[in-house]
Amino acid sequence: MIFKRLTAILLVALIIILSFSGCEENYKEAFIYIEFDRIAEVIDPQLATTTEELTVCRSIFDTLLRYDQNGNIVSSAAESYEKEGNVYTFKLKTNGSWTDGTPLTADDFLYGIERAVSPETSAPYANSLFSIKGAEEIYTGKAELSSLGVTATDEHTLKIELKRDDPEFLKVLTSAITMPCNRKYFEGCMGKYGLTLDTTPSCGSYYIKKWTSNEKFLIRLAKNLDFTGDFEANSMRIYYTCGEKDTLGMLENENTDLMYISNEDYDKVTAADFETVTTKDTCYALFVSEDLNEDVRKALLTSIDHSGFKDKLPSTHSVAETVYPAVIGTKGTKKVTDYVKYDPEAASKLYSELIKAGTDLSGITIKYPSDAAAESVAKSVAAQWQQNLSLFINIEGISPSAAKSAYDFGNYDILIAPFTATTGTLSAYHAELGLSYTDTTKAEKSLYEELHCYPLYFTSTNIASTHTVDNLKSCLWGGILDVAMLIKNS
């Protein structure tokens, strides 16, 4: 009798232990659903531009280095690395591979960088690599690809020589622009690399199992069971979808685990007690055309004050005292007021003299991206000019893409345009602004004194969670979600 009772107690204890053990591991069998704000169209790391595209690339390609959950940059595809002078030497893990079984080699990383700096590729973030010896000259057509300071000395050793010290270089090596590309596979895709399920490879934590975009966008990722890196996927499946407009309803009904939400939806989502994580990554800035008289530009810019619209900004927005959003960092940068000081009295006097000299700004228009916040700020700026200069300015809403195009081609009198630090690197953000500078001092001087820029406000990329994911904040270093590290509640 005592033996039976002891046996029963032991069985119950074993069941309890196994149950708790199972709970701890249940998340590894989980499926995570993520609703995108836009469709991911190009899953080619050297050409991906949007947050959505870069997120998928992060999911299926490995990088030499990667952010861990504490925001530290650590080895990933690289086993180790060392720096001697301006030369980095990376030793790759010897068991890395593509999902078709092809070994992942140093030449794959070399070819990825070669594609990025080749002018034929037109890689949007190529200037992130311009600190590499020969990269800028190759990209601008002034040098041959053979002059690039990157070599695969053997199957698992990659050397990268810089032409100057670059404090951001390790950060760049975590981004998509440096992801590997297999030469033979790429050439076999016949121009469709990263555009279809059958022409998108993987060497990362996941691979693409399904990709549809005809009726409803869906990218379904499956855990790469052959991945030998340190960033093993925590969940078996990731579902990326797009198209749902009822943000709050989708979260309340738990039809998704994570959802990219607009700034307009942010307040109602937080009011409903859903967890949100925001990344301050976009600056809306005003530009005055250099075609206008220098004194006109000075009168306009010195009669703008942030206080005129600060209290009208939504909760996800904040006044931009510099052009650099928080994801880039503002250390060492100056405020716009260090270059352009608010002085409405001097501006009014200067503009009065311009009027007497025959200056006519009656046909001038502020073009702005047609959203509520940008319209409100455009109206506020116009009101300040009316009050300070007795100048009446028209405003015109255009699409964000049209605003960016107007900036790129200089097709404006006065323009408000958004600039997003999608990859979180300074060089890529400067590329967004059409600048090639590697430091903020020269860039600021160009922006404020030559391009006549006045930063207005910052906005965010926002992700909401239905409380089904434990560690969202620790998976967002560098501005791009690393889904391999997400843990779903059991």
pLDDT reading at 175 higher than 70? yes
Residue 257: which of 487, 482, 467, 470 has the closest Cα? 467
Average pLDDT over residues 137-146: 96
pLDDT reading at 254 higher than 90? no
Residues of the chain with CATH 3.40.190.10: 31-241+466-485
pLDDT reading at 15 higher than 90? no
Average pLDDT over residues 59-63: 97
pLDDT reading at 7 higher than 50? no
Find out whether 28 and 236 touch, Cβ atoms under 8 Å. yes
> What is the residue-averaged pLDDT of the chain?
91
Find out whether 355 and 344 touch, Cβ atoms under 8 Å. no
Residues of the chain with CATH 3.10.105.10: 280-461
pLDDT score recorded for residue 29: 62
What residues are paired with 207 via a beta bridge?
222
In the structure, what pLDDT confidence band is assigned to residue 490 with cuts at 50, 70 and 90? low
Average pLDDT over residues 27-35: 79
pLDDT score recorded for residue 482: 95
Interatomic CA distance for residues 466 and 242, integer angstroms: 17
pLDDT in tens, 464-476: 998 888 888 889 8
CA distances from 201 to 38, 44, 189, 190 (A): 22, 9, 10, 14
Assign domain 31-241+466-485 one CATH number from 3.40.50.150, 3.30.70.660, 1.10.8.10, 3.40.190.10. 3.40.190.10
Residue with tokens 């790469």: 224
Higher pLDDT, 16 or 309: 309
Weakest mean pLDDT among 104-118, 159-173, 345-359, 423-437: 423-437
pLDDT in tens, 196-221: 999 999 999 999 999 998 778 999 99
pLDDT score recorded for residue 402: 95
pLDDT score recorded for residue 137: 97
Q: Give the CATH class of 280-461.
A: alpha beta
Average pLDDT over residues 89-101: 96
pLDDT in tens, 264-281: 899 999 999 998 999 999
pLDDT in tens, 380-438: 999 999 999 999 999 999 998 899 999 999 999 999 999 999 888 888 899 889 888 87
Average pLDDT over residues 72-91: 97
What residues are paired with 31 via a beta bridge?
237
